[in-house]
Each structure stands twice: as structure tokens, then as C-alpha cells.
Amino acid sequence: MRGRPLHADPTVAPLPGGPAGPRRQGAPVGAVSSTQHVGAAVPQVTVDYQVARHIAGQIARRREELLKIRPGVDRATEEQRCLGWINEAVALWADAHASERGVGTTAQEEHALRRSVYDLLYRAGRLQPYLDDERVEDIIIQGPHEVWLDYGDGQRRRVGPIADSEDELLEMLRELARDSGYSERTISTASPTLALSLQDGSRLQAITGLGPMTYAVIRRHRVSHADLDDLVRLGTIDSVLREFLGACVRAEKNVMIAGKQKAGKTTLLRAMLREFDPECRFATIQTEDELFAHANGYHRQVVSLVGRESNGEKDVTGRGAGEITLLDLMHPALRMSLERIVVGEVRGPEVVAMMQALTNGSGGNLCTIHARRPDIIFDRIAELYALAQGNLSEQLAYRQTANGLDFIVYVDMTDETQIGGRRHRYVSHVLELTGIGENGRPATNEVFSPGTEFGDLRAVPRMDPGCIDDLLRVGFDSSLLQQVYGAWTAPLPLKVGVSR
């Protein structure tokens, strides 16, 4: 019965005996629950998880009795009662531990145990300290005993186990699915893959039964509520490109964000959504919710639609029973009186419906797509068209892309962590689509491209777009595009220089 953070959740109110004062959602608290957890900001305290599980089992049984006696008890009261029981149980354990070993426990040890019991009952169990660490970008799980953390600076470190067995790991993953509202999603030998968004917005992908152990990766969104100004401060874009992208959104241009995995496409998409008017009515269509637009406290008219996986059975057509794809969601979404449509990631046949929406409906739609280089984006779109029902032609893909899209923004990443550097994420290109060109492929203008002639990989202005008048009408200052270096004051600080 773990689930939504409430008043008793230590992320908004400290556990009894813990640090005082209000805390914001998701920040680390007090002690961590593994001696191998890396972090200078918090002390390292060992937690005996056999003890934590034993206490959690006791509290769970008392909670069940409480709910039988008082079935209408509200969630906050239930959690407060459980916190009191956790305090009592940990105090009894501390007394018994001191009597048995002749050494008393510290306040930090008791607080870490209380937190671990609470996490087992109401949050992500032994995973929770790593979800709370804002520096962690990826949690890589290779079975129950081998867990690695990828940090935003490129470091990778191994930490303690998150389960004692494969069965315990699988039950943890199922519990995460239930707690995240995906009651139809599970993981087993019959249903060997699991994809979902956790309550904090992290993305989980797991595989079991197809190898020697269960594998999972949790991708955390460390920059989940950034706007375009924040991306300027992070160095992803400069102030010139910030004004240009904002104007594209306000002028209702259809924009596709492309890039490598982990380059920051979703982060840029979320930031561009903040350029929508707060009263704008739009839909987000995703396989897992990673945009959080309906819950960001800014937009008021969001139709948030998330696809649904099959229950593992097949219907008479051979399709997974209960499955709802992004393509299934696209058609009803178009009847919801929307001003704009946002597709979190175009990765399959839904690209056809997306392009139809771009060509038939109003402008201002956004989406993302994976592509290793800017020059293969159109081929990538054509590949997705070929996967669609009816094996649609490459020429149709090119034509609808040219007719539907106004701009493509390419997000790149340069990783120098193997030579002692860091990961650099930045926008490198902005391409304007200008119609059909040679061989039926979309023709483009490079409005922004890398400043390689002065040693930079980041986007700098190259020319006015053909639709400059539309941007001027929403307040864009065209003189910004005359700044040869953009607003960059120095090239990207790379260890390996840029070939000029």
C-alpha cells in the first residue's frame, strides 16, 4: 500500500527524530541506507535490512488491523499512526541491541532505520536513497546484487544491493508499477518487459526471463522543471537561441526536437512547453509520462494521455488485448478541442498520425525523435513510416514531413568523461523546412549551426528564416540573428578541440 506522498511523507515533513524544518519533494534526508551509497552531503550509516524488513512486516500487520477496524480512516491519519509505530519499534530494537551488544545506537543509526522502514512501507524501498539523490542520472540494475549509479558529471559507481533475491527484486518492480498507477503493467516470465514512469517522474525499463538475471534502468530527470531561461544558465542554449525558440512557440510553428539518447530532448521539450500560454488547451501523448505538464502548476488546460500495455493475451486480430498505442490515442485527441498536440517521443506508427495532425490542424505542435545526427532525421522519419500499417512509402514520409514541420531543433552531447572531462549537452542545429527539394527530400535552411570556424560545437545564428515575419509579429528581435557568435562569450570548454 505504498503510494502518493502525503503529510506524513518525510519528503514534506521529517520523520520523528529526524532533521527539522520543511523540505522540498525529492531531496535527500538525514542518513542514507547503505554504506556504499556515495554522497558527501549526507553521513554514511549502515542499515541492517533484515531488521528493517522485520519491523516493516510488523507495522504492515498493524496497519491491516487498523484498516479493518477503521475502514474509512484517511491516508494522512493512517501514515501518522504508522510513523508512531515505527518510532516505537525502532526504540525497542535500539534497547535490545544495546543490551545484547553493550553498545548503544546513535541518533543517526536510529533515524536511518526509521527512514528505511518507512521507505519499505510507503516508497521505493532500498532504491529510495538513490532516487532522492539529485546528482544521480541513471540507476543501472544488473540483478538484485549489482547496482550502479551514473551521475550527471559522467561518473559511474557501484553501490549496495537493492534486494536479496531475484524474487524480491521482481516484487519490488511490481510494487513500483502498482504505486505509480500502472495497475495493468507487471513483469514476469509471461510478461518479460516493464516500462513505466515512477511517481517522481523517473522512467523505468526492466527485462526479466530473457537472460541470466533481471535487468532494469531507471532514468532520472534531474532537470524536470526547467524553462528556457534555466537552459541558458545550464549552457544548453544561449540567450539568442532562447528568444528564437520562444518566438517559434508563440508563432505556433510546428517543431520537432531530435537528438541522441540522453542528450536532453525531453528537457528541452518541457522547457518549450513553458512558452505556451497558461490557458492554452493542449494534449500530451506519451508511452510514459515524462513531461508532467498536467501537474507542473503552470498549465491549466492539459489533456494528459498515456498509452497502455497489453495484458499479455492476444485478441482475435493478433493484437495484444487491452493495448492502447500512441496511434490509438492520437485520433480521439484530435476531437478534444485542442489548440496544440505534444507527442513525448515519436517512435513508431504514430508518426503518421502526428504528421497528419501537423498538416491538417492548427500549428504550434511539438514532438521529439531519436536521431544520431542531424542529416539522418528525414531517413529516420521514413523508417518509422515503413513500420506503419500499409508499409507507407518514403516519398509520402518526405512530403508530409516537408508540409507539416516548420523547424527541427537538434540536441547534441559531447562526452569527455573518459579523458577526465565532463558531459556537455547543447543545441547544435536549428533547421527550417522550406518545402520539397532534390530527390523528393525535404529542403532545409540552417538557421543555426555549430560555430566550428571559431572552435565551438554549439549553435550560432546563420541566417533569417523564411518565416521571419511571423516571428516578428510575436515580438522577436531579428537583429539578434546578426550576432555572429550568438551570445556565447567563449567556446565550449572541451579537452579535445574542434576541427576548424
What CATH number corresponds to the domain at position 234?
A: 3.40.50.300
364 found inside a domain: yes
- Are the C-beta atoms of residues 350 and 367 closer than 8 Å to each other? no
pLDDT value for 17: 37
pLDDT value for 283: 92
pLDDT value for 24: 28
336 found inside a domain: yes
Residues 6+ apart with CB under 8 A from 494: 414, 416, 421, 424, 457
Regarding whether 363 and 256 lie in a shared domain, the answer is: yes
The residue-averaged pLDDT of 236-254 equals 97
Q: How far apart are CA 441 and CA 368, in angstroms?
A: 20
- Are the C-beta atoms of residues 265 and 259 closer than 8 Å to each other? yes
Regarding whether 151 and 13 lie in a shared domain, the answer is: no
pLDDT value for 480: 97
Structural domain range at position 310: 228-482
Q: How far apart are CA 442 and CA 396, in angstroms?
A: 11
Regarding whether 143 and 21 lie in a shared domain, the answer is: no
pLDDT value for 181: 74
pLDDT value for 41: 38
Decide if pLDDT at 37 tops 50.
Answer: no
pLDDT value for 439: 86
pLDDT value for 43: 41
How many distinct structural domains can be found in the chain? Answer: 3
488 found inside a domain: no
pLDDT value for 361: 66
Regarding whether 216 and 103 lie in a shared domain, the answer is: no
Q: Which of 365 and 14 is assigned the larger pLDDT?
A: 365
Decide if pLDDT at 4 tops 80.
Answer: no
The residue-averaged pLDDT of 113-136 equals 90
Residues 6+ apart with CB under 8 A from 390: none
Q: How far apart are CA 74 and CA 76, in angstroms?
A: 6
Regarding whether 110 and 39 lie in a shared domain, the answer is: yes
The residue-averaged pLDDT of 148-175 equals 90
Regarding whether 218 and 86 lie in a shared domain, the answer is: no
Average pLDDT of the chain is 85
The residue out of 176, 192, 222 marking a domain boundary is 222
Range among 114-118, 293-297, 317-321, 474-478 with highest mean pLDDT value: 474-478
Regarding whether 58 and 186 lie in a shared domain, the answer is: no
Regarding whether 233 and 217 lie in a shared domain, the answer is: no
246 found inside a domain: yes
Regarding whether 319 and 306 lie in a shared domain, the answer is: yes
Tell me the pairing of strands 407-415 and 255-259. parallel
The residue-averaged pLDDT of 173-190 equals 83
Regarding whether 242 and 187 lie in a shared domain, the answer is: no
Regarding whether 288 and 202 lie in a shared domain, the answer is: no
pLDDT value for 313: 63
Say how many CA atoms lie within 13 Å of 335 toward its Cβ. Answer: 4
The residue-averaged pLDDT of 154-160 equals 87
117 found inside a domain: yes
20 found inside a domain: yes
Q: Which of 121-125, 340-344, 353-357, 449-453 has the lowest mean pLDDT?
A: 353-357
Decide if pLDDT at 10 tops 70.
Answer: no
Regarding whether 371 and 256 lie in a shared domain, the answer is: yes
Decide if pLDDT at 455 tops 50.
Answer: yes
462: cell is 546563420
